[in-house]
Amino acid sequence: MAENMRDIKRRIRSVQNTKQITKAMEMVAAAKLRRAQEQAESARPYADKMKEVIASVAAGTKGAQHPMLVSRPVQKTGYLVITSDRGLAGGFNANLLRNLVRDIAKRHQSRDEYAIFVVGRKGRDFLKRRGYPIIEEVTGLPDSPLYRDIQPIARKAIGQYAEEIFDELYLVYNEFINPITQRPVEKRLLPLSDLDGAEEKGLKTLYEYEPSAEEVLADLLPRYAETLVYSALLESKASENGARMTAMGSATDNATEAIDTLTLQYNRARQASITQELSEIVGGANALD
């Protein structure tokens, strides 16, 4: 009985230590989430305005003939996948990668028909273990990434599309809905096809171009595509911290329940031990009589 009580006390201490860790991780994730959410929200107006300007330029020129705006027969597809470097975030990475594997299996018959750019250790390790073709990888990004952190891989993916190594490029990431909900999404990044009517959302603006509208458009389109990748990265960072905060909150609640259950078991064992000792004392006293 004493041995059993010692085991229960040891388990209670272990779960209490785990609870302290998960609670601390929940608080850290909550603090990071606030910063990441603010960063993601602040990037949206810039991307929207850039889209409006590009749509206006394209509408006033023959910009629709630009390679980044024209669909072509698809022979090879590129995927830019954004995951996290760390785990302990519930199904944040697993759900995204499961959807990616499913979509690739539906869309392609051979691994020669696609290639992958991946951000984050979790995605890289998952895809490498399964032999998926990875062209470029980026890991170790900070919690508050800057534009220059994602620019090299974004520029390489967009450049290979421009060189017609790919005929379309998809962006795969977790979209931030709220701290509890993150949604895995797949959006076609290239060719850009969502510019129609974008200039109508704001006031009509007349632009003057130097050296020419066509050259300005050719310079803006790659920058806009890179901006979309950066915005997706910010969304993913906010989603990661929201998922980790939720997962650690659930782990803390489970630890609390486990401590309550173990404490009840300990009290019952202690009561049984006391009852047994009293019985032995009474029995010994009766034997002396």
pLDDT of amino acid 289? 60
Does the domain at 2-24+248-282 match CATH 3.40.50.620? Answer given as no
pLDDT over threshold 70, residue 17:
yes
Confidence of residue 259 (pLDDT cuts 50, 70, 90): very high
pLDDT over threshold 80, residue 73:
yes
CATH pick for 36-243 out of 3.30.930.10, 3.40.50.300, 3.40.1380.10, 3.40.50.2020: 3.40.1380.10
pLDDT of amino acid 244? 94
- From the CB of residue 215, how many other CB atoms can be counted at a distance below 10 Å? 11
pLDDT of amino acid 71? 84
Confidence of residue 200 (pLDDT cuts 50, 70, 90): low
Closest of 235, 256, 255, 227 to residue 92, by C-alpha: 235
Q: What is the mean pLDDT of residues 83-107?
A: 93
157-180 pLDDT, tens digit each: 999 998 889 899 999 999 998 888
pLDDT of amino acid 198? 52
pLDDT of amino acid 56? 75
pLDDT of amino acid 63? 46
Confidence of residue 266 (pLDDT cuts 50, 70, 90): confident
Confidence of residue 55 (pLDDT cuts 50, 70, 90): confident
pLDDT of amino acid 33? 92
pLDDT of amino acid 3? 61
pTM: 0.84
pLDDT of amino acid 219? 83
pLDDT of amino acid 86? 92
Domain ranges of the chain: 2-24+248-282, 36-243
